[in-house]
């Protein structure tokens, strides 16, 4: 069983920006950065190891991902993405920390792409 938790950023690219590969690439890179910024504020925090384990990756043209828990000292990364302990998490932390962050950021995808179309 794989213990790491990851999400793939799927690009829903509006027709207005399809002509600009650079705008799409920069927009996706910005989205990955913002997903990490948001998810590290939501990830369950005890020692900080899980929070520090966030890693972006580029899987190919216009395909990026974010992974938590690749380090051996955070085997619980996948568990906390999918489960919430009976007592919940403290200080606004939550399960689904990565998926909810990706959802919130990718909902604004057109704005990320449009930001780079006129540069």
pLDDT for 85-111, tens place per residue? Answer: 777 777 778 888 899 999 999 999 999
Q: Which domain holds residue 102?
A: 5-114
Does the residue 48 lie in any domain? yes
Instruction: Determine, yes or no, domain membership for 119.
Output: no
Residues making up the chain, counted from first to last: 119
pTM (predicted TM-score): 0.77
Number of compact structural domains in the chain: 1
Total Cβ atoms within 10 A of residue 58:
13
Cβ–Cβ under 8 Å, residues 69 and 78: yes
What's the confidence (pLDDT) of residue 18? 56
């Amino acid at each position: 069983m794989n213990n790491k938790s990851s999400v793939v950023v799927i690009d829903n690219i509006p027709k207005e920006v399809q002509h600009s590969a650079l705008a799409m690439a920069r927009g996706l890179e910005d989205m990955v950065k913002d997903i990490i910024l948001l998810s590290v504020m939501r990830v369950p925090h005890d020692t900080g190891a899980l929070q520090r384990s966030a890693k972006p990756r580029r899987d190919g043209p216009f395909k990026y991902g974010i992974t938590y828990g690749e380090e051996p000292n955070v085997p619980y990364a996948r568990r906390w993405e999918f489960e919430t302990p009976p007592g919940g998490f403290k200080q606004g932390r939550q399960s689904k920390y990565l998926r909810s962050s990706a959802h919130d950021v990718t909902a604004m995808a057109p704005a990320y792409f449009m930001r780079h179309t006129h540069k």
